[in-house]
């Protein structure tokens, strides 16, 4: 299979189909991951305007050369570069006016109320509406247009995520050498971060978690100066960004001999994770996978100890669609081939400790492929 890189033109074409369904004649993209997904541009400020037959990438002086080189390097013909002089919002309004856009979709998930108000006010004062108000362009907040496209990965993205998961698994296999009795949580976290960079990641995907002993009962504990002791359970949760894409992995270890009460929790969480992974296939919902994991833990008397969702999508953001959860509004949608997400049940019991086991899976036509490859017990 030849992988030519992200297919920006195809993505923009797919977005246009959603624009037609939402009856907008323009879509303004300001969310950084959405902008990257649609154009390949990854600067700290910038925007895209997608019109029915044209698309513009808007950047200022700081990024002009880089953006021009990027578009030229891939022979991009579908996206025109638009230089922003001065304020970005004023430039967006000026371009919308020049284009004569009337119903302008914006990203409801990420645009701030302040920006929405500024753009709306500027559009209204720039327009010359008829006496009945017709002709005044309107911003239309649209939910998840690009986010739901991003949830289904294409072949290029799957290849990147597969490679990223392979590399993160190699980092995980270093845990036994790093997480030893007498070492501080922060020292271990620093070593994991260094291993993530050595493995070829551009950066950790989030602040690495090393939670030992009583701290393991706190699902998102920050690493501190506590030294690992014999008898501790230790939750180690870390991720990396590779070619822009995030992967995420957790293992829980026991320092010294397994304590029977802690082992019971470990075995229950492992059973919950295996059950949920076995249930992954196209057509099922994130909510049903969450229920599969939760039912196992409830049967073991640990339902109340599982206080978070079972997983989340992975991609340009470490937490994105699809949500594998009982609470997220989008968790009833059918999972589809090409979706990549975590399965990470946990149970946290004050006094005994906490366990979380997390792997990354890809939905396939026939079920799923587990992308991470690390023994559960290391």
Among 147, 185, 232, 248, interactor with ligand GLY by CB under 6 A:
248
Nearest to Mn ion of 58, 269 (CB atom): 269
Partner touching 82 among Mn ion, ligand GLY, none, CB below 5 to 8 Å by kind = none
C-alpha 278 chain-centroid distance? 23
Q: What are phi and psi of 287, to 5 degrees?
A: -60, -40
Nearer to ligand GLY, 50 or 217 (CB): 217
Q: How far is the CB of 312 from ligand GLY (least distance, A)?
A: 6
State yes or no: residue 360 binds Mn ion (CB under 5 A). no
Does residue number 237 form part of the binding site for ligand GLY (CB under 6 A)?
Answer: yes
Which of 156, 206 has the CB closer to ligand GLY? 206
> Got the DSSP string for 151-220?
HB--HHHHHHHHHHHHHHHHHHTTHHHHS-TT-BHHHHHHHHHHHHHHTT-SEESS--EEEEGGGGGSTT
Q: What is the DSSP string of 55-101?
A: EEEEEEGGGHHHHHHHHHHTT--S-EEEEE-S-HHHHHHHHHHHHT-
Q: Which does 359 bind (CB under 5 to 8 A by kind): ligand GLY, Mn ion, none?
A: none
What lies within 8 Å, CB to CB, of 278 at 6+ separation is: none
Q: Which is nearer to Mn ion, 118 or 162 (CB)?
A: 162
284: which residues sit within 8 A by CB, 6+ positions away?
334, 335
Q: Please name which of 45, 75, 79 lies closest in space to residue 62, comparing C-alpha atoms.
A: 45
Q: Which residues, numbered 333-372, are part of the site for ligand GLY (CB under 6 A)?
A: 344, 358
DSSP 22-36: TT-SEEEE--HHHHH
Part in contact with Mn ion (CB under 5 A); list of ranges 14-22, 183-191, 235-243, 258-266: 235-243
Q: Please count the residues of the chain.
A: 378
DSSP-derived 3-state class of residue 301: coil
The interface with Mn ion within residues 293-352 (CB under 5 A) comprises 342
CB of 298 to Mn ion, least distance (A): 21
Residue 55, strand partner residues? 50
Query: CB under 5 to 8 A by kind: which of ligand GLY, Mn ion, none does 325 bind?
Result: none
Q: Give the contact letters, 256-285, x = binds to ligand GLY (CB under 6 A), - = no.
A: ------------------------------
248 counts as binding Mn ion under rule CB under 5 A: yes
Nearer to ligand GLY, 47 or 172 (CB): 172
Q: Which residues contact 348 (CB under 8 A, 6 or more apart)?
A: 216, 217, 218, 219, 305, 306, 307, 354, 355
Taking the complex as a whole, how short is the minimal distance between the CB of residue 305 and ligand GLY, in angstroms? 17
Q: How far is CA 334 from the centre of its chain?
A: 18
* Binding residues for ligand GLY, total number by CB under 6 A: 6
Q: CB of residue 89 vs Mn ion: minimum separation in angstroms?
A: 34
Interface residues with Mn ion (CB under 5 A) are 237, 248, 250, 342, 358
Interface residues with ligand GLY (CB under 6 A) are 206, 209, 237, 248, 344, 358
């Amino acid at each position: 299979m030849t992988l030519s890189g992200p297919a920006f033109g195809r993505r923009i074409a797919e977005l246009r189909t959603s624009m037609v369904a939402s009856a907008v004649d323009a879509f303004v993209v300001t969310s950084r991951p959405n902008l990257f997904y649609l154009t390949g541009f990854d600067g700290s400020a910038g925007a895209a305007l997608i019109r029915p037959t044209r698309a513009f990438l808007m950047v200022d002086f700081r990024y002009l050369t880089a953006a021009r080189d990027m578009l030229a390097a891939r022979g991009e013909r579908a996206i025109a570069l638009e230089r922003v002089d001065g304020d970005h919002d004023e430039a967006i309004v000026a371009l919308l006016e020049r284009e004569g856009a009337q119903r302008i979709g914006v990203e409801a998930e990420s645009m701030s109320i302040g920006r929405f108000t500024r753009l709306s006010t500027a559009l209204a004062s720039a327009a010359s509406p008829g006496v009945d108000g017709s002709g005044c362009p309107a911003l239309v907040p649209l939910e998840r247009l690009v986010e739901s496209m991003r949830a289904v990965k294409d072949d290029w993205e799957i290849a990147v995520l597969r490679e990223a998961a392979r590399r993160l698994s190699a980092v995980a296999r270093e845990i036994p050498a790093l997480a030893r009795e007498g070492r501080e949580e922060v020292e271990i976290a620093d070593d994991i971060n260094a291993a993530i960079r050595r493995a070829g990641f551009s950066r950790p995907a989030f602040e690495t978690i090393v939670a030992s002993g009583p701290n393991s009962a706190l699902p998102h504990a920050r690493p501190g100066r506590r030294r690992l002791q014999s008898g501790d359970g230790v939750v180690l949760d870390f991720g990396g960004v590779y070619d822009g894409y995030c992967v995420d992995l957790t293992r829980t270890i026991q320092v010294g001999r397994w304590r029977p009460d802690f082992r019971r929790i470990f075995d229950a969480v492992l059973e919950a994770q295996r059950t949920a992974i076995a249930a992954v296939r196209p057509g099922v919902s994130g909510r049903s996978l969450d229920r599969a994991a939760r039912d196992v833990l409830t049967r073991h008397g640990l339902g109340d100890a599982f206080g978070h969702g079972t997983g989340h999508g992975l991609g340009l953001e470490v937490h994105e669609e699809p949500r594998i959860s009982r609470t997220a509004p989008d968790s009833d949608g059918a999972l589809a081939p090409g979706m990549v997400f975590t399965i990470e049940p946990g149970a946290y019991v004050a006094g005994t400790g906490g366990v979380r086991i997390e792997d990354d899976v890809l939905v396939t036509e026939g079920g799923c492929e587990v992308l991470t490859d690390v023994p559960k017990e290391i």
